[in-house]
Chains A and B, each alone.
Chain A
């Protein structure tokens, strides 16, 4: 059986294969050539010619179908647009909220910087102004810690002995007297404010030349004490530091540093002195920049 010869069937010819390949290639070549011709004609004369006319006619014929398709798809497109818009709106809302927070923070920073700058400008005016005391130089510095409550009447500044600050040096802001250096470190110093219960500053009424002493009063105000009832002090008068009158007993504060403005003047039968209330010029609760007044000559 195995040795017997087997008659192989005659291979089937594929006459159609070559033909179909030829047809296929011919079709694609012809179509590509037509397409290229159309592209060339359309590109060369995009606004006129037979192809343009043909395209216009075709477009007109297709127009109703396009409109129909658009109308059929309109509800779906509306739904898609709604969902898409909602998604985008949510994302945009989130983004805008984030931006708003950033802008608020920036605005607060800018406002804080502006407020600080305002204080620095005032301080500069004071330092460079005519009321700046002679024989002193200013060491401008930042406030690093603030009065934290009603029981604290001091603050810390970012300048110390290494910067030339000396103990008992007066400290001013652009508005007026702040206090005095009560403790000194190489790169910082403690400033006791004029609102401290132990503070006492020799002062005078700038308008009436009446002398007295400024000490803390109630509610953040100051009292111009030791003013005789016979003296005249008027509401609205400015109170400044009195300065040194006796070279042997020099005052800690030079003459002319603004302290505050008289807000009320009272006379009590039982009191020995006038009751003069002074509103300090310096806002002792929100100081950012101050200047330490250091004598140019050693005492």
Chain B
């Protein structure tokens, strides 16, 4: 990942985090909120790999926690793991698959929501499991709606990395 790409990714995540905190967090549709930041992070992770995904998740989570004055590091923790995991998927089985962004969003939305729930629960904060579970379905739908345009924009912004740039532990040798 070049420096230019790093700057672009940082700007992308900064804008996404600010937009998430200031705009998207107020759009309640059927009890769920579209997660623009998560979709952006997934797109970045798929295109730039696990390290970029983890770092991006950490950075974006830190911004969210700072802007929303929440428990610092909480969102970072969950987004770091989400970015890393999606990045690994993009580096290995998800590479060049057209359905990868949608599948990733579907899975990571569930894991992200449940992950936040678990962390809040562990910290002894309010963890309304019923409300979270009920909102997961609409959240997946909303995030899937955002996936195609966001992924297209991020892909345009960050050209897909060359194979050599990506980690290839599962690469077939022939």
Contact = CB atoms under 8 A, between A and B. Distances in A.
Interface of A: 11, 17, 20-21, 23-24, 27-28, 31-32, 34-43, 46, 51, 54-55, 58-59, 62, 65-67, 69-70, 73, 76-77, 80
Interface in B111-143: 119, 123
A34 to B, nearest CB: 7
B22 A69 contact: yes
- Chain B interface mostly helix, strand, loop or mixed? helix
Q: How large is the interface on B (under 10, 10 to 19, 20 to 34, 35 or more residues)?
A: 35 or more
Candidate in A20, A23, A31, A42 with the most chain B CB atoms within 10 angstroms: A31
A46 B80 contact: no
A34 B72 CA distance: 10
Contacts of B74: 35, 39, 42
B51 A23 contact: yes
Nearest to B166: A20
B169 A32 contact: no
B69 interface: yes
Interface in B49-65: 50-51, 54-55, 57-58, 61-63, 65
B72 A66 contact: no
Contacts of A34: 58, 73, 76
B147 to A, nearest CB: 20
A39 B72 contact: yes
B80 A62 contact: no
B72 A51 contact: yes
23 contacts: A17-B167, A17-B168, A23-B51, A24-B51, A27-B51, A28-B50, A28-B54, A31-B57, A31-B76, A32-B80, A34-B58, A34-B76, A35-B76, A36-B73, A38-B73, A39-B71, A39-B77, A42-B65, A58-B67, A62-B18, A62-B67, A65-B18, A77-B23
